[in-house]
């Protein structure tokens, strides 16, 4: 019999509808995998009872002859950055340990309303700040992947959505939510051999998602196939009056629109993404990706995004600036931790609470943000960064006069070992060099697995599209997926 936990979201959905298996069987299978994978530390809270309740509701509705929801019978993982009513939501911080929301985020609410069930809350970098899932208060997430040749080193699952990527590639869930501020869906997807899409800024409501950098944060799906990403994004996207930056646009039928025929499409290859010293295996995979898209019927042209080298420094002004403002809310008064030293006044309580509640990377970013926004430095740092951001966005506009989508590597390397980049924050930041520019411009971007490197680790290719053109991004992703034939999966050691 088919192992139900090896199925994709679309296969689970269709098999449930056809009566090949019950929703409860699926939920029980994934619950068992979650319970047996403590070594990965992918979940902060496990909610097997929620997965079973949703499954039983789906089975009962089916027995009663009701029309199934878009995700009836499908259990998923929820990144612990989405507020879930009645279930602890921590953003992987000590600050929010024990915080139990009294409301549901818009995106998670849409998924439950479509029939999905929750397997648990997935670990992440603290407040989504990190690229390796080593900043979580609840411990590192471990990638299920190992280098070949008996190398037993624990590898990073990427970040910040590292619990999501680890859990999906280990078959603890068929799909999960992620959020992406500078690459937090795409880079972990690349590191673990799965797919993930960050839609156009404004497609998914940010309401009820713990805020990091509001002009950059976007929710999106992570799963093993492009089709699964398309169908999940259809459920997650849509106008929400509770988010002032939500786009009031109809949600396209991305799954029905999937086509890997790229005839008539032009793919741009940005020359600035091929710096001297680019990893040779990454460069070779990129060339292979170009050949695959040509094979799918696309034309390929070289384009230039001249301000690319300034994207990371721009991001590391804007994101910390917004974070320092957003995280001012953690004051020990309304929710979360409070640290009240004997005899302390209100100001001392704030400072003690925030010293105890935030991890080192979060403090670092709050302080950088506070500095660049402070009197006398605001124009030199923040205003300048917003101007450079406008130039980065203009680079994309000009490139898209010549092409319909861009193809690049997702990350400059395969997964690194845990601890390898912890000593040097700057080295860690450089991991997001290929993902940050599209975030600054608010563009849809996706990572799909392209192959394995010589050490047996997955490498991803990134597709960047025009604003609101997720369909072309997904279609190019599908064209690569069909040609890459990526079926590798980690050997179970956990």
Partner 1 sequence: MSIDLQTVKKIASLSRISVTDAEAQAMVPELNNILGWVEQLGEVDVTGIEPMTAVIPNIQRLRVDAVTDGNVRDKVLANAPQAEHGFFAVPKVIE
Among 30, 138, 350, 416, binds partner 1 (CB under 8 A): 350
333 belongs to the binding site for partner 1 (CB under 8 A): yes
Measured in residues, the chain has a length of 494
| CA gap 183, 220 in Å, rounded | 11
Q: Rounded to the nearest whole angstrom, what is the least distance from the CB of residue 315 to partner 1 in the complex?
A: 9
Can residue 358 be called a binding residue for partner 1 (CB under 8 A)? Answer: yes
Among the listed residues 48, 157, 442, 490, the single contact to partner 1 using CB under 8 A: 442
Of the pair 256, 380, the CB lying nearest partner 1 is at 380
Q: Shortest approach of partner 1 to residue 443 CB, angstroms?
A: 9
User: Which residues are part of the catalytic machinery?
Assistant: 79, 160, 184
Q: Distance (Å, rounded) from C-alpha 102 to C-alpha 116?
A: 20
Q: Long-range contact list for 2-6, CB < 8 A, 24+ apart? A: 3/29, 4/29, 4/30, 5/29, 5/30, 5/33, 5/171, 5/174, 6/171
User: Which letter does DSSP use for residue 256 in this model?
Assistant: T
CB-count burial class (<10 Å; 0-12, 13-18, 19+) for 375 = exposed
Residues 6+ apart with CB under 8 A from 288: 450, 451
Q: Which of 406, 395, 412 has the alpha carbon at shortest distance from 472? A: 406
| Residue 250 CB-density burial (10 A; 0-12 exposed, 13-18 middle, 19+ buried) | exposed
Among 380, 402, 419, 454, binds partner 1 (CB under 8 A): 380
Residue 384 CB, nearest distance to partner 1 (Å)?
5
Query: What is the sign of the dihedral through the CA atoms of 176, 182, 183 and 184?
Result: negative
Pick 56 or 339: Cβ nearer partner 1: 339
Residues from 89 through 118 that contact partner 1 (CB under 8 A): 98-103
422-441 binders of partner 1 (CB under 8 A): 425-426, 429, 440-441
Nearest to 161 by CA among 144, 147, 141: 141
Query: For partner 1, what does the binding mask look like between residues 262 and 301, x meaning CB under 8 A?
Result: ----------------------------------------
E strands in 181-260: 195-198, 218-223
455 binds partner 1 (CB under 8 A): no
Q: Which of 73, 120, 202, 221 binds partner 1 (CB under 8 A)?
A: 202
Largest CA distance in the chain: 72
Q: Are 127 and 92 in contact (CB under 8 A)?
A: yes
The minimum distance between CB 365 and partner 1, in angstroms, equals 9
Which tokens go with 260? 């890997």
Token look-up 């786009």 returns 247
Is 214 a binding residue for partner 1 by CB under 8 A? The answer is no
Q: What is the CA radius of gyration of the chain?
A: 21
Number of helices (H), then strands (E), belonging to the chain: the values are 16, 11
Candidates 210, 262, 317, 415; binder of partner 1 (CB under 8 A) is 317
Q: How far apart are CA 280 and CA 277, in angstroms?
A: 8
Q: How far is the CB of 401 from partner 1 (least distance, A)?
A: 17
Q: How many residues of this chain interact with partner 1, rule: CB under 8 A?
A: 74
340 near partner 1, rule: CB under 8 A: yes
Shorter beta-carbon distance to partner 1: residue 256 or 355: 355
- C-beta closer to partner 1: residue 445 or 480: 445
Does the footprint of partner 1 cover residue 310 (CB under 8 A)? yes
196: β partners: 222, 447
- Ranges assigned E (strand) in 36-149: 43-46, 75-79, 117-122
**Of 35-43, 178-186, 272-280, 357-365: span binding partner 1 (CB under 8 A):** 357-365
Would you give the distance in Å from CA 249 to the centre of its chain? 23
Contacts (CB under 8 A) with partner 1, residues 25-54: none
Judged by CB under 8 A, the residue of 16, 201, 254, 286 near partner 1 is 201
Nearer to partner 1 among residue 40 and residue 372 (C-beta): 372
Closer residue to partner 1, CB minimum distance, 241 or 297: 241
Interface with partner 1 (CB under 8 A), residue from 314, 410, 447, 475: 314
Nearest CB to partner 1, comparing residues 61 and 390: 390
Smallest separation, CB 427 to partner 1 (Å): 10
């Amino acid at each position: 019999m088919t192992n139900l936990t090896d199925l994709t979201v679309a296969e689970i959905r269709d098999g449930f509808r056809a009566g090949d298996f019950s929703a409860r069987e699926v939920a029980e299978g994934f619950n068992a995998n979650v319970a047996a994978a403590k070594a990965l530390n992918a979940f902060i809270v496990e909610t097997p009872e929620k997965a079973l309740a949703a499954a039983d509701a789906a089975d009962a509705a089916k027995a009663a002859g009701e029309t199934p929801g878009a995700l009836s019978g499908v259990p998923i993982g929820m990144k612990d950055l989405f507020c879930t009513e009645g279930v602890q939501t921590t953003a992987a911080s000590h600050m929010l340990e024990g915080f139990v929301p009294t409301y549901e985020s818009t995106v998670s609410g849409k998924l439950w309303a479509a029939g999905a069930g929750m397997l648990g809350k997935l670990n992440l970098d603290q407040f989504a700040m990190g690229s390796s899932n080593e900043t979580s208060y609840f411990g590192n997430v471990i990638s299920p992947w190992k280098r070949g040749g008996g190398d037993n080193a624990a590898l990073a699952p990427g970040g910040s959505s590292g619990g999501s990527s680890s859990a999906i590639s280990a078959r603890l869930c068929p799909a999960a939510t992620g959020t992406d501020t500078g690459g937090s869906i795409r880079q972990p997807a690349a590191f673990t051999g799965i797919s993930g899409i960050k839609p156009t800024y404004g497609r998914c409501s940010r309401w009820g998602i713990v805020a990091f950098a509001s002009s950059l944060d976007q929710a999106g799906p992570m799963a093993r196939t492009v089709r699964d990403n398309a169908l999940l994004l259809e459920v997650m996207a849509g106008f929400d009056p509770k988010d002032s930056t939500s786009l009031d646009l109809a949600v396209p039928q991305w799954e029905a629109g999937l086509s890997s025929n790229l005839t008539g499409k032009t793919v741009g290859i940005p020359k600035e993404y091929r710096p001297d010293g680019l990893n040779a295996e990454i460069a070779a995979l990129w060339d292979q990706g170009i050949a695959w898209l040509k094979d799918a019927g696309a034309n390929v042209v070289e384009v230039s995004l001249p301000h690319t080298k300034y994207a990371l420094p721009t991001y590391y002004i804007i994101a910390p600036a917004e974070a320092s403002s957003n995280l001012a809310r953690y004051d020990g008064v309304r929710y979360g931790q409070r640290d009240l030293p004997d005899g302390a006044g209100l100001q001392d309580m704030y400072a003690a609470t925030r010293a105890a509640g935030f991890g080192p990377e979060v403090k670092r970013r709050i302080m950088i943000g506070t500095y660049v926004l402070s009197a006398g430095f605001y124009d030199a740092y923040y205003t300048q960064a917003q101007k450079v951001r406008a130039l980065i966005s203009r680079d994309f506009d000009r490139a898209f006069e010549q092409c319909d989508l861009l193809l690049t590597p997702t990350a400059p390397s395969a997964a690194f070992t845990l601890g390898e980049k912890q000593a040097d924050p700057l080295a860690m930041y450089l991991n997001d060099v290929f993902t940050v520019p599209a975030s600054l411009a608010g563009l849809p971007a996706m990572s799909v697995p392209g192959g394995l490197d010589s050490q047996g680790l997955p490498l991803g290719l990134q597709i960047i599209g025009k604003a609101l053109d997720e369909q072309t991004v997904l279609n190019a992703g599908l064209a690569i997926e069909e040609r890459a034939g990526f079926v590798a999966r980690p050997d179970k050691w956990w």
